[in-house]
Amino acid sequence: MSILNNLDNGNTSSDPTFRPCCRREFLYTGLLGGLGLTLGSFLKLKDLQAQQKNYVSKEGQAKAVIHIFMPGGMAHQETFDPHPNAPIEYRGPLGVIPTKISGEVFSQNLPKTAQVADKITVIRSMTHGEADHDRGTHNMFTGYRPSPALSYPSFGAVVSHEFGSKKNMPPYVAIPGQANNFAGTGYLSSAYGPFALGSDPASKGFQVRDLTLPGGVNAERWAKR
């Protein structure tokens, strides 16, 4: 207590660089010193906890996602977001129909989709802050803004990397082919890229690329190989 009283009384030393401190500063310095003694052990404990990787995860009910990419496709106000109460110049010329969800309407051209509206999720707020369509496409396929230093993988490639194939089926399929460069693997291995069908299923004589025997090779010859 006598030391603290001397500090409060402002006793100085002959050293010109000496600055008197008060009782509060003395106690604060001691507190920091006490914390410093345990900081190393605390950080070491946190590091050990992180290495255990006891992550809590929950698998969703959906086992597959169909991503339909339509550049320059149908407008939102003529499909899932018709704005029936807006002026004609904003809502467009099409009418609306009720859906399975009370108060929700779709375009008149989506009657079958309207009947299953309670089983789907319409996200009307998705957007990006890019002024260029190409950069915006990158953002929507990867979740990141374009970077000159890093090539990001598409979410299809990420799913392929994280979950792998199920029942010997490709985890990432592109129909009829990879939509663009942003739908690729980025910095991931090409092994996680999309399996492209190579043909349009709606075309006549459709067949999946590389799944048919080459000319002159029948099933018997193939079995002998």
CB 184 within 8 A of CB 153: yes
At residue 2, does pLDDT exceed 50? Answer: no
pLDDT band at 10 (very low <50, low <70, confident <90, very high): very low
The reported pLDDT for the residue numbered 91 is 81
At residue 7, does pLDDT exceed 70? Answer: no
Give the tens place of pLDDT for each residue, 125-183.
888 888 888 999 999 899 999 999 999 999 999 999 998 888 888 999 999 999 999 99
Alpha-carbon distance values, 209 to 184, 195, 199 (Å): 18, 10, 7
Query: Please, which residues have CB within 8 angstroms of residue 7's CB and are 6 or more apart in sequence?
Result: 20, 21, 22, 23, 26
Query: Please, which residues have CB within 8 angstroms of residue 145's CB and are 6 or more apart in sequence?
Result: 130, 135, 138, 139
Q: What percent of the chain has pLDDT over 90?
A: 34
What are the boundaries of each domain within the chain?
A: 1-32, 71-126, 129-199
At residue 35, does pLDDT exceed 60? Answer: no
At residue 117, does pLDDT exceed 80? Answer: yes
Would you say the pTM of this structure is higher than 0.75?
no
DSSP 214: P
Task: Determine the Cα–Cα distance for residues 8 and 17; give it in Å rounded to an integer.
Answer: 18
Give the tens place of pLDDT for each residue, 60-97.
777 888 888 888 878 888 899 998 898 888 887 889 99
The reported pLDDT for the residue numbered 34 is 54
The reported pLDDT for the residue numbered 174 is 93
- Gap between the terminal Cα atoms of the chain: 94
The reported pLDDT for the residue numbered 1 is 44
Give the tens place of pLDDT for each residue, 185-223.
999 999 999 999 888 888 888 888 777 777 788 888 888
